[in-house]
Structure 1
Amino acid sequence: MPTILLLVISNIFMTVAWYWHLKGGMHKPLLIVILISWAIAFVEYCFAVPANRIGFAHGWSAGQLKIAQEAIALIVFGGFMVIVLGEPLHWRHFAAFLCIIAAVAFLFAGRS
C-alpha cells in the first residue's frame, strides 16, 4: 500500500533528522545541527504529506493516519536506536509497542 510505504520512508527521514547528531555529531554547533535537521525534515515532509493525502483519499480517517504513523515511527526508531545508537531494546520497548499496536487495532476496528 502506498500510504504505508510513504509513511515508512518519511519516518526514516524524520528519525534521522531528530537523532542523527547524537552519534558523532554532539561536537557540532547547535545552530548547524538545527539547519541540517531542517533540511532532512523537508525531505520527510515530501513523503509524509503525500502519504496522508493518499491515505485520506482512500478512506482513512485522520486518526487512523496518525496512529499508523506512530506505530511505524516506533518500529523505525527501535531499529535506529539499536543499529545506529547501539542501545539495547528492553521489555519496556516491546510493551510500549504493544500498546501502540492496540491503539492501531482500536482505530481500525470496524473500518469498512
Structure 2
Amino acid sequence: MTTVLIVDDQPLQRYGFRMLLDSVPGTEVVGEAAHGAEAVRRAAQLRPDVVLMDIRMPGMDGIEATRRIVATGARSRVLVLTTFDLDEYVHAALRAGASSSSGRASL
C-alpha cells in the first residue's frame, strides 16, 4: 500500500487528486494539507510514502515545505506539482530534495 499526503491551497484541487488517487488500487490518501507549514506537520505525523506538493501556496510555499520535510530525514518522497512553466521552479524543487523521475535529482 502506497500512502499519500496531498498538499494544495485549493480545496477543489485536493478533492480532485483525492478522487483520482482513491481510485488507484494499492494507494491510500492518508491526509491533506492546505499550506506548507501544515504539510510539514502532517508529513511528520502521518509519515506518508509520497507527499504530492503544490509549489505555490500562500505562507510557506512548496519549495520550503519540501526542504523541511526532506531535512527531517523522513522516508517520504516529495513530488512537486505546478501549472507554471518556469524552469527555476523545477530546479528549486530538485535542490530542495523533491524526487526526480529516476529517484535521484541531479542538476
TM-score (norm 1): 0.30
Question: Who wins on radius of gyration, i.e. which is larger?
Answer: 1
TM-score (norm 2): 0.31
Q: Which has the higher helix share?
A: 1
Q: Which has the higher strand share?
A: 2
* Greater relative contact order structure (CA < 8 Å, 6+ sep): 1
